[in-house]
Amino acid sequence: MADMETKEAEMDEDGIIELLDDDDNVVKFKLVDVTEYKGEKYAFLLPAEPNDLVAEDEVAVFLFKEAEQILAPIEDEELMQEVFDFWQSEEDEEE
């Protein structure tokens, strides 16, 4: 998700979070889950409306800096995959 900028995470009453892409266009997401992995929190978001950055069935993963209420893109593809795999394993265990 290197195409997204760090932005203060504000959720509206419908559970929609607005982030900015590199061109300062608003991209809307719906929060799916937040999980902790290796001492950091990560937010999992689904597109709330069609956009060019994330397919509608693709989950976007962001570092969630809770104290600042900021969502930050994860630049390291390996880390992003690790976090996603960890989250998937947690979801599988819950089922």
Q: Which residues contact 39 (CB under 8 A, 6 or more apart)?
A: none
Of residues 13 and 42, which shows the higher confidence score? Answer: 42
Closest to 83 (Cα-Cα) out of 36, 47, 33: 36
Interval 21-37: pLDDT, tens: 778 888 899 999 999 99
pLDDT at residue 70 in the model: 87
What span, in angstroms and rounded, lies between the C-alpha atoms of 37 and 70? 17
Closest to 32 (Cα-Cα) out of 58, 7, 5, 70: 58
What span, in angstroms and rounded, lies between the C-alpha atoms of 80 and 29? 18
Interval 22-81: pLDDT, tens: 788 888 999 999 999 999 999 999 999 888 888 888 899 999 988 888 888 898 999 999
Domain ranges of the chain: 7-94
63, 72 in Cβ contact below 8 A?
yes
What is the pTM assigned to this prediction?
Answer: 0.81
